[in-house]
Amino acid sequence: DAGVIQSPRHEVTEMGQEVTLRCKPISGHNSLFWYRQTMMRGLELLIYFNNNVPIDDSGMPEDRFSAKMPNASFSTLKIQPSEPRDSAVYFCASSPGISSGTDTQYFGPGTRLTVL
Amino acid sequence: TQLLEQSPQFLSIQEGENLTVYCNSSSVFSSLQWYRQEPGEGPVLLVTVVTGGEVKKLKRLTFQFGDARKDSSLHITAAQTGDTGLYLCAAFTGTASKLTFGTGTRLQVTL
């Protein structure tokens, strides 16, 4: 069974451009998470969805960031306009969403974003 | 202020040595997880501990949850080069599915 799929794996863009990151969660999983990882701040939760509904977006840094989950098998994280400080590795993760407090989150390979 | 502080931040040891990584907080958690992340990949769950004082073993890795459920440790016996990676503790906070990660311990095991 395929794990979490993310695309692209690498993205290099110029400041001001729009960036869209994509994620396909594991089939049957009810929860989807977007994280950002940097050396300075570590791994931070940006937003998570349960049954395609955003539950907690308190980690989204500012209005330039938006996330959608139009169906159970697809989610996007969009940055518009992008800035150099957005450079990071962005991870998508999914979990069965069955047992709160002990659920396993399965991470994708990440998208390394560089904003010049 | 980081909710979960890990120590040490970096650790470089030779193969065959033992090591312990710590995860500390002032908060009480219902459960705590440990993940390992290898370069270029996402974190992978190693273990979940739920009960205060619980000890779990995974081959050469021993995980302990503090009695007060505020801290945890990971002990590796006879480290191997394959143990190299970033070790992250994580706890569920706020809403049931929200996972907060620790600051991380980067382990390098050399021959």
- If you measure CA to CA, which chain B residue comes closest to A5? B42
Residue-averaged pLDDT of chain A: 93
Grade residue B1 by pLDDT with cuts at 50, 70 and 90: low
Region A24-45: mean pLDDT is 94
CA atoms within 13 A on the CB side of A21: 33
User: What is the predicted pLDDT for the residue at A2?
Assistant: 83
Please answer yes or no on whether B96 and A101 come within 8 Å at the CB atom. Answer: yes
Count contacts between A and B (CB, < 8 Å).
Answer: 57
Please answer yes or no on whether B48 and A104 come within 8 Å at the CB atom. Answer: yes
CB A47 within 8 A of CB A57: yes
Please answer yes or no on whether B45 and A105 come within 8 Å at the CB atom. Answer: yes
Interface of B with A in 65-94 (CB under 8 A): 88, 92, 94
Phi, psi at A66, each rounded to 5°: -145, 150
Neighboring chain A residues of B42 at a CB cutoff of 8 Å: 4, 91, 93, 107-110
Residue B1 contacts A, CB cutoff 8 Å: no
Higher pLDDT, residue A62 or A14: A14
User: What is the predicted pLDDT for the residue at A74?
Assistant: 96
Residue B48 contacts A, CB cutoff 8 Å: yes
Residue B41 contacts A, CB cutoff 8 Å: yes
Express each pLDDT in B22-80 by its tens digit: 999 998 888 899 999 999 999 999 999 989 999 999 999 999 999 999 999 999 999 99
Own/partner long-range contacts of B40-44 (Cβ < 8 Å, ≥24 apart): B40/A109, B40/A110, B41/A107, B41/A109, B41/A110, B42/A4, B42/A91, B42/A93, B42/A107, B42/A108, B42/A109, B42/A110, B43/A43, B43/A91, B43/A107, B43/B86, B43/B88, B43/B101, B44/A107
CA distance A23 to chain B (A): 13
Alpha carbons A25 and A73: distance in angstroms, whole number: 6
Region A35-51: mean pLDDT is 93
Neighboring chain B residues of A95 at a CB cutoff of 8 Å: 97
Neighboring chain B residues of A48 at a CB cutoff of 8 Å: 97-98
Q: Which of A30, A39, A43 to mutate to test the interface with B (most CBs of B within 10 A)?
A: A43
Please answer yes or no on whether B97 and A45 come within 8 Å at the CB atom. Answer: no
Q: Quick check: B19 pLDDT over 60?
A: yes
Express each pLDDT in A54-106 by its tens digit: 988 989 988 999 999 999 999 999 999 999 999 999 999 999 876 666 788 99
Express each pLDDT in B89-104 by its tens digit: 999 876 566 788 999 9
